[in-house]
């Protein structure tokens, strides 16, 4: 982390909060303090504006933000209710490699490595024959073509399937969202480097190895990335 | 994943998008299509309203959302510019265990297990003597007290330090945000179950073991959680 970034984070910018920021944060605190639960009816826009002593426009702006986060919903006849936000939906909106800083892109790429290495345990809890067949057909597809764009697609299909097998919907969606980031970072490299353990080898390890052997195989598969990381940190 | 949730996701709810939703999405597309980069000046509110044929209020509402996401900033004299969003800042706003569904809480708890198991590789790349001293002092603190609330705090301090050592700012912040979730799930359990490998043992493994031994130790440390997971999936 650069010194400037560290300073920015530790010191915190003096915010020129708009009224909408203030109202948004006030509403958030109010929901917490009153232990509102998903499904509970919320006060009307006009009531909120009066209680806060601000214009209806400002309240509408703040509510619009909470609606975007999925924290509130409007129901016919019932008015506004508190909702269970889709925690990843909002994440998706900001994960654009073109506007994220390079430092964050690198962090997310590392995060991917951590996830792939940590996946083995829950992967082996769920793994069944159907999964193995699906992985095999991805690998067989791959053997046929060597064009770079296609290889990246297959790389994504293979690793995506592993997350799917792990059976955790949030994790799977999270990885799906990170894909454009990985793809972007991979495209920055001149060629698609791969360790000495191939996808084909990994499927073999899933079939007849244990989770330790699979994890070691995954490490070898990702080794060029880990090597690069080691060089950077030195 | 329950059938209803799967159906909801696959089919997708017919949205009663407000005008702000439409304008927000239109602006997002426009930035992408025109390859706007962080720092680029954006058209004025009034110009956008005219181009879109909507009221200024609607544009203001949509811009307010993008501002909340950190995607745009207002600069004195320069007007609005596109910005690099703080990708985790927005995530933080929705990670409230009281409003997240139980299914997502469970997913996030599993995600934590995956991260802890996957951390070993980048942990060992960064580890130095200073880190070991810091971990030791956390562990020594822990030996002195057995009160449950304190133990949870120490649990968090110990694992948080591991993420810090990994040297990935995004990952560290991500784990920090997930803490209230873990704490919430841990409090649901009657007692703080721990595997036969303690934090103390884990520090020893960091000092004199290799990353494979450390990872195996971490698995044993987290084993009660993995066991529970295995039971649930059966």
Architecture of domain B3-82: Orthogonal Bundle (1.10)
pLDDT digits (tens, 9 = 90+) for A195-205: 889 999 999 99
What phi, psi does A21 have (nearest 5°)? -60, -45
Domains of chain B, by residue range, sit at: 3-82, 91-233
| Residues on chain B touching A55 (C-beta within 8 angstroms) | none
pLDDT for B234 beyond 80: no
pLDDT value of residue A9: 66
Q: At what angle do helices A45-52 and A19-33 cross, to 10 degrees?
A: 100
User: Can you tell me the mean pLDDT for A32-43?
Assistant: 91
* pLDDT reported for residue A122: 94
C-alpha B14/C-alpha B204 separation (Å) is: 56
Are residues B38 and B46 in contact, defined by beta-carbon separation less than 8 angstroms? no
Residue B11 has pLDDT above 90, yes or no: no
Chain A residues with CB-CB distance to B215 below 8 A:
215
Predicted confidence (pLDDT) per residue in B12-25, tens digit? 655 456 888 899 99
Q: Which residue of B has its CA nearest to A124?
A: B230
Contact B169 A101 (CB under 8 A): no
Contact B87 A67 (CB under 8 A): no
Task: Say whether B71 and A168 touch across the interface (CB within 8 A).
Answer: no
Average of pLDDT values for A122-129? 94
How many alpha carbons lie under 13 Å from residue B55 in its C-beta half-sphere? 7
Rounded CA separation A87/B11 (Å): 19
Q: Which CATH architecture has domain A15-82?
A: Orthogonal Bundle (1.10)
Answer for the pair B199, B142: CB distance below 8 angstroms, yes or no: yes
Q: A73 forms bridges with which residues in the sheet?
A: A81
Least reliable range by pLDDT among A36-45, B117-126, B167-176: B167-176
Helices (H), A95-210: 102-118, 120-126, 129-144, 148-166, 169-188, 199-208
Residue in A176, A127, A216, A164 with CA at minimum distance from that of residue B120 = A216
Select from B58, B61, B220 the residue whose CB has the most chain A CBs within 10 Å, as the one to mutate to test that interface: B61
CA distance A138 to chain B (A): 22
Architecture of the domain spanning B91-233 = Up-down Bundle (1.20)
- Position A63 pLDDT exceeds 90: yes
Across chain A, mean pLDDT equals 86
pLDDT of residue B228: 87
To probe the interface with B, which of A23, A169, A178, A212 has the most B CB atoms within 10 Å?
Answer: A169
Does the pLDDT value for residue A17 go beyond 70?
no
How far apart (Å, rounded) are the C-alpha atoms in residues A79 and A77?
6
**Pairing label, strands A72-75, B79-82:** unpaired
Give the pLDDT of residue A128: 94
Cα–Cα distance, A158 to B67 (Å, whole number)? 37
Q: What is the pLDDT of residue A90?
A: 80
B145–chain A nearest CA distance, Å = 31
Q: Do the chains contact at B121 and A99, CB–CB below 8 Å?
A: no
Contact A122 B113 (CB under 8 A): yes
Contact B99 A37 (CB under 8 A): yes
Q: Which of B28, B99, B166 sits opposite A82 (nearest CB)?
A: B99
- The pLDDT value given to residue A192: 59
Q: Tell me the pLDDT tens digit for each residue of A142-157.
A: 777 666 667 777 888 8
Q: Do B119 and A118 touch (CB under 8 A)?
A: yes
The answer to whether A72 and A61 have CB atoms below 8 angstroms apart is no
């Amino acid at each position: 982390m650069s010194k400037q970034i560290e300073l920015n984070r530790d010191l915190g910018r003096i915010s020129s909060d708009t009224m909408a920021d203030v109202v948004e944060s006030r509403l958030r605190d109010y929901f917490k303090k009153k232990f509102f639960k998903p499904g509970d009816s919320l006060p009307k826009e006009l009531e909120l504006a009066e209680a806060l002593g601000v214009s209806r426009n400002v309240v509408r702006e703040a509510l619009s933000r909470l609606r975007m986060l999925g924290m509130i919903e409007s129901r016919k006849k019932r008015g506004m209710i508190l909702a269970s936000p889709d925690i990843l939906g909002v994440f998706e909106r900001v994960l654009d490699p073109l506007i994220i800083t390079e430092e964050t892109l690198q962090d997310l790429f590392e995060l991917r490595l951590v996830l792939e290495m940590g996946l083995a345990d829950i992967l082996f809890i769920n793994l069944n024959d159907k999964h193995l067949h699906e992985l095999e057909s991805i690998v067989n597809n791959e053997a046929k073509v060597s064009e770079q764009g296609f290889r990246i697609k297959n790389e994504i299909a293979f690793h995506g399937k592993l997350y799917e097998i792990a059976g955790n919907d949030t994790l799977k969606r999270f990885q799906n969202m990170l894909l454009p980031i990985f793809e972007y970072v991979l495209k920055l490299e001149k060629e698609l480097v791969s360790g000495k353990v191939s996808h084909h080898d990994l499927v073999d390890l899933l079939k007849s190895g244990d989770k330790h052997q699979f994890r070691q195989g995954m490490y070898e598969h990702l080794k060029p990335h880990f090597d690069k990381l080691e060089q950077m940190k030195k």
